[in-house]
Amino acid sequence: MFPDWLAWVLLSDLFPWLLITLGAVFFLAGTAGLVRFPDLFSRLHALTKADNLGLGLICLGLAWHNKSPSVALKLLLIWLLVLLASAVSCHLIARYALHSDSKVWKQRHD
Amino acid sequence: MNQPLFFAWVGAALFGIGLYGLLVHGHLMRKIVALNVMGNGVFLVFIALARRDPLVTDPIPHAMVLTGLVISVSATAFALVLLKRLARQAQAQESSEHDS
Amino acid sequence: MIEWLFDGLLAIGLLWLGWRTVVSAELFKAIVMFIVLGLFMALCWARLAAPDVALAEAAIGAGLIGALLLDAYRALVAERWQADDRNAKPLVAASLAILSSVLIGGLAWALLFSPEPVVDLNAQARARLADSGVGNPVTAVLLNFRGYDTLLEVGVLFLAWLGLWTVGEQESNSAATGAWVEDSDLLTALVRLLAPLGVLIGVYLLWAGANEPGGAFQAGTVLAAVGVLLRLSGRLRPELSPDLWVRFGVTVGLLVFSAIAVGVIPVGGNLLEYPGDWAGLLIVVIETSLMVSIALILTLLFIGSAGLRRGGS
Amino acid sequence: MSFTAAAAVVPVLLPLLVAPLMLLLGQRSRAALLIITVIGIGWALLILNGQVLELGPQRYAVGGWGAPLGIDLYADGLAMLMLWLTWGVGSLVSGYALVYFAHGEAKAERFWPIWLLLWMSLNALFLAADIFNLYVTLELLTLAAVPLAALTGETEALRASMRYLLFALLGSFCYMLGVALLYGGFGTLDIMQLGWLVTPGPLAWVALALITLGLLIKAAIFPFHVWLPPAHANAPTPVSALLSALVVKGALYLLVRIWFQVFPNAGTLVAGQLLGLLGAMAILYGSWQALRQVRLKLLVAYSTVAQLGYFLLVFPLANATGWGGAILQLLSHGFAKAALFLAAGNVLHALGHDRIAQLHGVGMQLPITVFTFALAGIGIMSMPPSGGFLAKWLLLRAALESGQWWWAIVLLCGGLLAATYVFRVLGYALLAPAEQQLPKVVKPALTLELIPLLLALISVAIGFVGMPYLTLLDIGSPFSGQQP
């Protein structure tokens, strides 16, 4: 049912660090998107999506590492709050941009 | 070198950077921001020195920085309100002078 | 080793952000850099075992000042203000840079040769902590040992509000012409969720402040964050000329604090000398009233803000 | 413990409580609250004065903890004199302001709470014995003074206040960094304990330099004076008087506290001469600028820049005589400058402008005000009999006795320049108007003319109270026991 190697990975001290590293990679990707993407909307997309996932992974890793339910609950709360805040602020920024005719980048076919 | 001294140096550097910004810029809002950088530097020196004893941190600088923070936000907020009013009034005055 | 790595990265981050704040060509960039600097400062306070300061910095330093700066920036842009932004000429700037470097060098030199203090105030504060009525040493210093400073500091906050009332204007700038963003379901949902949660966290911080990091200032700032959210989303629109309730709200902290400070003289002996077992209770009363005034004043600082509006004009 | 022992806290706590009450209770109870404040503070000062005279310097432990853990208040002769100055000028200018703001409730409603907090912060500053507490009082002072300077809401006033605020905040942060260094190095914040503990070394020197720099900026000492004239000249009349007579004195007072009590051995020859040099520059430059001004209020403001310079001569002339002269200069200048600004304000109000060259005939229309200007001018140009004369005579004696004749030259030049600018104003004011046509004036209320006259009379009378003054000043003075 439960392969031994999976149990070993999940229980080892290494696993939370794996999660945190993965989270950091997502942050990096999100930041790269923020810097490199061509217009405001795709930048917002990269920033909020990737960073939210990254933060979730980091929170999960920290909770795993700490092994305390109350800490895990707090971390979950932090993640949910950030999700909510980033969703709303992303929405507001995008709407403001839409209303003030911010340029939308289009792939040029030529 | 130890951690308190290291961060106190960083605080001193922030103070100097802020001072440079305050003196070099003509724009009033840049000056206000630069002053806040200076303030952060001062606070960092305080908090770093509170870490002299690595086992028990000194609560007195912490309390002083909290006081300083509240004072500096009060001063900054007032400065910005003053700036907004000045900007609007000076601008209105200038445009009315241009019209006449 | 790993600790030094962390400290080193933190320091480089602080200095780089401070530098970018000061030298960025655009004002907007400078403001954003400053806000990020505030977050790094909060991280730094946490690293230096100053959780009370970290809480206050994250809420005030990065959050509130950041919002105020962005708001003022927007007003200046809306006014198309021809600011006097002639910067120093290169030669002057270079000499100013040298001056600042000399100052930094002098400070570093002074700090390096700092004598070891003879008086250990830290030990004294900890020794008398049991007599202070609270368990959090920072709260003990703020409201008991050095309560007089805090009393005067509440006067500073009151003065900031009086100053605002003197020179401030209500939604004065041209940005205030656009329509409010009121019809956004998502924003409504956020406000509905965050407002009660913010109040809960604020009250928790006040209550926890007696024994753990927290206290009237942190609690007041969190409540103010709720107030600012309501204000910026147009749900709260206070008048610049204060009615009696506002007048009462901004002064209640000062009135209660100074009344208690004087009221204990006949019992305790000195100004602010809380009699015996009453210290804890009196501190809670003072902190609660302070929280109200702090939250209200910090919210009112946004009175002239254009708020969240559709991008008109 | 009885309330008599708590006399030291009344000057701080009473205005701190009355200020919010003024805001809450509104216009009708204003005069009553003001009278309570004036009488309450005066009464407390009388008691405190008695204690200081009888028992020597007084310490008061707020919260009962005692320094260094708690905060102490400290009152010696110097603190008493400054408190009395603030009380005297403050009460009289308050009376002036009651009439002045009678027809502008919007301004009055804001002026009164802020002014009471300003008064409170001055008292708190003079009584403080803790360098961080002093930082808080300095910030209170700034955040009260700047909105008052901006009260008229005119663009020029707003611009001047903005500049004032930026300078003051820069000064505060320099001071606060100095405090951080001192605490880091010596572990206490109490002035007296620091005086015992401070050892010469890099930390102490840099801290002293930062604190001095910060306070010089706040006190508008040359070359940091640029913020003062526009801020003081564009404020409403009573505010100009308060800012020039009292607020800048706070920083100067603190400067001598720090130099003579925290760093008693820092008054080396070089440092003292350097500060004296700044003072001399302030005297000469300020007087010269005053002479060149077109507007009366700006002239008076530049005269403040010059008069503050005299005080800095206490550093090279650090002995009992110089000390007595410098402090007396603070007191007499306080009263004289308040009188000058109020008189200038009356002229401005009466004529609708304050251009010096167009003052012809004012002497006939506003004889009391012009007489006041002349009377207060006596002290400014250091002619006998006046407090200003006595102050500068003591400084002159200190300079000659210590063989530093170069300061004597500065003193004489300063007096000469001051006489020139005062007589320039009087000359125009007393000149018969061209074509026998008196200027149209709006006559100010009698109170508005009598209060400055009273202030000017006090500034002259200070010249006659030498002995009681010196007795009080001697208590807790760094030169205690020496014959001035």
Q: Which three-class secondary structure state does DSSP give residue B55?
A: coil
Point out the least confidently predicted range of D93-102, D184-193, D471-480. Answer: D471-480
Distance (Å) from the alpha carbon of C239 to chain D's nearest alpha carbon: 15
Asked if B32 is an interface residue toward chain D (Cβ–Cβ < 8 A), one would say: yes
Residue C175 has pLDDT above 60, yes or no: no
Residue D231 has pLDDT above 70, yes or no: yes
The b-or-e profile of A81-92 (16+ CB within 10 A means b, else e) is: ebebebebebbb
What does R_g of chain D's alpha carbons equal in angstroms? 21
Q: Which helix (H) or strand (E) holds D74?
A: strand D71-75
Nearest CB neighbour to C155, from listed D3, D69, D117: D117
The dihedral of CA D374, D376, D381, D384: what is its sign? positive
What confidence score (pLDDT) does residue A105 get?
67
Average pLDDT rounded to a whole number, residues D299-307: 95
Residue C217, token pair as written in the block:
């200032």
Residue C34 has pLDDT above 80, yes or no: yes
Confidence bin at D484 (pLDDT 50/70/90): low
| CA distance linking residue D231 with residue D97, whole number of Å | 18
Q: Which residues of B touch C79 (CB under 8 A)?
A: 87-88, 91
Q: Which residues of C touch B90 (CB under 8 A)?
A: 81
Distance (Å) from the alpha carbon of B90 to chain D's nearest alpha carbon: 6
Asked if B83 is an interface residue toward chain D (Cβ–Cβ < 8 A), one would say: yes
Q: In percent, how much of chain C has pLDDT > 90? A: 53
Residue B12 has pLDDT above 60, yes or no: yes
Q: Is residue B14 a contact partner of residue B38, using CB atoms and an 8 Å limit? A: yes
Residue D265, classified by CB atoms within 10 Å of its CB into exposed (0-12), middle (13-18) or buried (19+), is exposed
* 8 Å CB contact of B41 and D162: no
Distance (Å) from the alpha carbon of C58 to chain B's nearest alpha carbon: 11
Nearest CA in chain D to B86: D158
What confidence score (pLDDT) does residue D151 get?
94
Q: Which three-class secondary structure state does DSSP give residue C201?
A: helix
Asked if C258 is an interface residue toward chain D (Cβ–Cβ < 8 A), one would say: yes
Nearest CB neighbour to D24, from listed C124, C155, C247: C247
What confidence score (pLDDT) does residue C179 get?
64
Distance (Å) from the alpha carbon of C157 to chain B's nearest alpha carbon: 6
* 8 Å CB contact of D206 and C244: no
pLDDT in tens, C68-97: 999 999 888 887 776 666 777 889 999 999
User: In sequence order, what DSSP letters do the residues of D335-366 get, joined into one string?
Assistant: HHHHHHHHHHHHHHHHHS--BGGG-TTHHHH-
Q: What one-character DSSP code corresponds to residue D261? A: I
| CA distance linking residue C251 with residue C256, whole number of Å | 9
What confidence score (pLDDT) does residue D177 get?
97
Residue C312 has pLDDT above 50, yes or no: no
pTM value is 0.94
pLDDT in tens, C193-248: 889 999 999 999 998 888 888 889 989 999 999 999 888 887 887 777 888 899 99
Residue D5, Cα to own-chain centre: how many angstroms? 28
User: If you search the block for the tokens 């041209």, which residue do you land on?
Assistant: C174
Q: What is the complex's ipTM, to 2 decimals?
A: 0.93
pLDDT in tens, D239-291: 999 999 999 999 999 999 999 999 887 666 788 899 999 999 999 999 999 99
Confidence bin at C160 (pLDDT 50/70/90): very high
Q: What one-character DSSP code corresponds to residue D294? A: S
* 8 Å CB contact of C186 and A99: no
Q: Which residues of B touch C84 (CB under 8 A)?
A: 26-28
Return mean pLDDT, chain D: 92
Average pLDDT rounded to a whole number, residues D33-57: 95
C residues 122..181 contacting A (CB < 8 A): 181
* 8 Å CB contact of D143 and B78: yes
Nearest CA in chain C to D25: C244
> What is each CA distance from D283 to D255, D276, D310, in whole angstroms?
18, 10, 7
Distance (Å) from the alpha carbon of B100 to chain C's nearest alpha carbon: 19
pLDDT in tens, B43-94: 999 999 888 888 888 999 999 999 999 999 999 999 999 999 998 888 888 7
What confidence score (pLDDT) does residue D2 get?
47
Q: What number of residues does chain D have?
A: 484
Residue B92, token pair as written in the block:
């209105």
Confidence bin at D204 (pLDDT 50/70/90): very high
Nearest CB neighbour to D162, from listed B35, B64, B86: B86
| CA distance linking residue A75 with residue A62, whole number of Å | 8
Q: Which three-class secondary structure state does DSSP give residue D190?
A: strand
Confidence bin at B28 (pLDDT 50/70/90): very high
- D432 or B13, greater pLDDT: B13
Nearest CA in chain B to D137: B71
D187 CB-near residues (< 8 Å, 6+ apart): C117, C118, C119, C120, C121, D68, D197
| CA distance linking residue C147 with residue C156, whole number of Å | 14
| CA distance linking residue A46 with residue A35, whole number of Å | 10
What confidence score (pLDDT) does residue D135 get?
97
Q: Which residues of D touch C120 (CB under 8 A)?
A: 187
Q: Is residue C144 a contact partner of residue C265, using CB atoms and an 8 Å limit? A: no
What confidence score (pLDDT) does residue D244 get?
96
* 8 Å CB contact of B61 and D180: yes
Q: What number of residues does chain A have?
A: 110
pLDDT in tens, D378-426: 988 888 888 899 999 999 999 999 889 999 999 999 999 999 999 999 9
Q: Do chains A and D touch (3 or more CB pairs under 8 A)?
A: no
* 8 Å CB contact of B81 and C168: yes
Average pLDDT rounded to a whole number, residues C19-27: 92
Written as one letter, the residue type at C238 is P
Q: Which residues of A touch C189 (CB under 8 A)?
A: 88
> What is each CA distance from C4 to C163, C171, D291, in whole angstroms?
45, 48, 61
What confidence score (pLDDT) does residue D267 get?
62
What confidence score (pLDDT) does residue D1 get?
41
Distance (Å) from the alpha carbon of B66 to chain C's nearest alpha carbon: 6
* pLDDT, mean of each 10-residue run, chain A (110 residues): 75 84 92 86 85 92 88 91 87 79 63
Q: Which three-class secondary structure state does DSSP give residue A68?
A: coil
What confidence score (pLDDT) does residue C75 get?
86
* 8 Å CB contact of C146 and D114: no
Q: Which three-class secondary structure state does DSSP give residue C136?
A: coil
